[in-house]
A and B are shown apart, each in its own frame.
Chain A
């Protein structure tokens, strides 16, 4: 809903947007939003989405992943997408549990969280995706909450407008399998960074805020700073849509000559 509203606010035509989803409860996203869509396999939203954006920079590309999808199966792709800084957005539906497979722990489940795969409680500490994105040289790192749709919508709008790779981790409680991190649980803890005068250009402060967890949990934009996007360093295709280039009559005579 927040995403649909964001698309309307941005004034995007259906044909201009592509959403890519992975495997998890979020995966059906492409069935619910009538824009271009690619429902891929578990953990691989980012490579698919980056492939699309590299090929056709005119498209607005938004990836949707789940916490197990991105932070377990696809964890390595996140760091590389963040540092590569291709101009796209990633929204992770983080419910801190594997819902589609009926309730196992993920890497963002809290220590002690009892699930079907951890009957005595999760042993290791949680991964921190926002802090991870910041230390991987992220240019837009934010966190949202599905219990505050208007706030989330504004984050999505900002993320899509950002020139570079924008990452939003979204708390989206699973009402079926997460008995611990519920809407109420979040509502009691969440506060908005922008209401406490957080400086979104200060990476050190952003990291401090991203590491905050417990009685108070921040949402909003942690950090935002532009740096050249991946394509800026490809002078030959900087403003080129590869889908518009000719496929026929590519003359390789000069390369053949060099081989003689």
Chain B
């Protein structure tokens, strides 16, 4: 109960109405325990108030929410909600920290939203199960962390070849191997971009907070299905399991786009159905197995339009080109989506480039620096594959000094920028001790490199 005493004392320092804490305690505990906790909070409050009067720099004030409520959730819950809203019907996974809470969240809701949520024997089973289910025409998802993602890599390649489209959530933690299993990192960016043998298009999206996680998860489902490619959402322990508040998600903001999918009842079958038909955009019209008049055949071996195995060199080239034409179409589509976000003034002394969960600390550090008169801006890169090269280049052109902020050792974003734009980054602020950036310490580091 020491924590309750401390909460009461903190309430006194912040000059906050103790009744609000009492309500929370009544909400949390059974009546008898609640009353004991309320007493404990009062003790803390009564001690702190006379001993530390008015010398605390920050005071909490009740805001007039006027009936408005914000939601309170974790990044993993935001992914789960995004998946439900996007119409995901099957989720298969094997527990691995820090991705497990997606399984917990969804399994409690599967009966409400008519989904199948299944814990399978390992991550290899998970990726293959969602690939198989995706072949039937439903939306599917799996989630894991680095070790499980290693096991999934062969299956991810199979989704590339069979043009199935599961969404895969990769929640990073420090590696290699078991590493620091319950801490945070951004060391798997290159891994996500390149996982599996061979070449095929994919999507890698990195949301930075719970709100983006929800909307970008929906986007991932749409793009994966429309372009019939796997979509990887890359998050980390810090984003996945920290609680945050947000405006209640706007259900109308992202529409469902199922692309070239013909459901069983709408299939006309004028010509022989070819699952991997060669088209201008590379996207082959999809229908569901079970559809009268259509044989839906797919193949992890190189195949012809009908899904039959082939070793023909001309056809092998044509099919690879067909799959990569989808990347061109996708890149075009991404021009209309938010793939990067710029924060802070247009004119700045330095520009920060970063991806993922570092967003909160960076924005907070910018506030500290701005109070001291230092103008910094920040480009958040939301899509890592396909890389929004033109948008990043535009920002880099006007940047006086560039700083990459990342939770890894080798600054993988720097290498990615160099790969796409042949540009070097002036400074890197890197942290790889398993802990997220702290805004205070980060603002100090930024000052050091300015």
Which parts of A214-260 form the interface with B (CB within 8 Å)?
234-237, 240, 242-248, 250-256, 259-260
Given A59-B289, A77-B125, A253-B251: A245 touches B114 (CB 8 Å cut-off): yes
Q: Is B364 an interface residue (CB 8 A)?
A: no
Cβ–Cβ contact A245 & B89, under 8 A: yes
B141 to chain A, nearest CB (A): 12
Segment from B301-309, B313-321, B388-396, B422-430 that makes contact with A: B301-309
A22 to chain B, nearest CB (A): 9
A54 to B117, CA, bound (A): 10
Segment from B184-192, B290-298, B347-355, B442-450 that makes contact with A: B290-298
Q: Which residues of B contact A259 (CB under 8 A)?
A: 71-73, 77
Q: Select one of A20, A36, A40 contacting B295, CB under 8 A.
A: A36
Q: Is A103 an interface residue (CB 8 A)?
A: no
Cβ–Cβ contact B290 & A16, under 8 A: yes
Cβ–Cβ contact A252 & B290, under 8 A: no
Most buried by B among A13, A46, A243: A243
Q: Is A31 an interface residue (CB 8 A)?
A: yes
Q: Is B299 an interface residue (CB 8 A)?
A: yes
A76 to B123, CA, bound (A): 12
> Count of chain B residues with Cβ under 8 Å from any Cβ of A?
72
Q: Is B132 an interface residue (CB 8 A)?
A: yes
**Interface footprint category on A:** 35 or more
A240 to B89, CA, bound (A): 11
Cβ–Cβ contact A237 & B116, under 8 A: yes
Which parts of B83-137 form the interface with A (CB within 8 Å)?
84-87, 89-90, 92, 109-116, 118, 120-122, 124-137
**What are the interface flags for A75-86 relative to B under an 8 Å C-beta threshold, 1 for contact and 0 otherwise?**
011001000000
Q: Select one of A39, A48, A56, A240 contacting B288, CB under 8 A.
A: A56
Cβ–Cβ contact A20 & B116, under 8 A: no
Which parts of B266-288 form the interface with A (CB within 8 Å)?
288
Q: Which residues of A contact B136 (CB under 8 A)?
A: 51-52, 55-56, 59, 242-243
Q: Which residues of B contact A251 (CB under 8 A)?
A: 251
Cβ–Cβ contact A51 & B81, under 8 A: no
Q: Is A107 an interface residue (CB 8 A)?
A: no
Q: Which residues of B contact A41 (CB under 8 A)?
A: 128, 154-155, 158, 300
Cβ–Cβ contact A15 & B114, under 8 A: no
**What are the interface flags for A29-56 relative to B under an 8 Å C-beta threshold, 1 for contact and 0 otherwise?**
0110011111111011011111110111
A52 to B288, CA, bound (A): 11
Q: Is A18 an interface residue (CB 8 A)?
A: yes
Q: Which residues of A contact B72 (CB under 8 A)?
A: 259-260
Cβ–Cβ contact B113 & A39, under 8 A: no
Q: Is B248 an interface residue (CB 8 A)?
A: yes
A240 — nearest CB in chain B belongs to which residue? B114
Cβ–Cβ contact A15 & B131, under 8 A: no
Q: Select one of A20, A47, A59 contacting B290, CB under 8 A.
A: A59
A256 to B294, CA, bound (A): 40
Cβ–Cβ contact A252 & B251, under 8 A: yes
Q: Is A4 an interface residue (CB 8 A)?
A: no
B135 to chain A, nearest CB (A): 6
Most buried by A among B139, B251, B290, B307: B290
Cβ–Cβ contact A252 & B116, under 8 A: no
A237 to B115, CA, bound (A): 8
A51 — nearest CB in chain B belongs to which residue? B132
A42 — nearest CB in chain B belongs to which residue? B154
Q: Select one of B92, B111, B301 contacting A51, CB under 8 A.
A: B92
B307 to chain A, nearest CB (A): 7
Q: Is A14 an interface residue (CB 8 A)?
A: yes
Given A255-B109, A260-B71: A242 touches B138 (CB 8 Å cut-off): yes
Q: Would you list 12 pairs from A and B whose C-beta atoms are within 8 A, ordered by A residue?
A: A15-B292, A15-B293, A38-B297, A39-B307, A41-B158, A50-B129, A51-B128, A54-B133, A55-B140, A242-B115, A256-B248, A260-B72
Known: A80-B125, A252-B84. 14 other contacts (CB 8 A): A13-B292, A15-B292, A15-B293, A36-B296, A37-B296, A43-B124, A47-B124, A48-B135, A50-B129, A54-B116, A237-B115, A247-B89, A247-B139, A255-B112
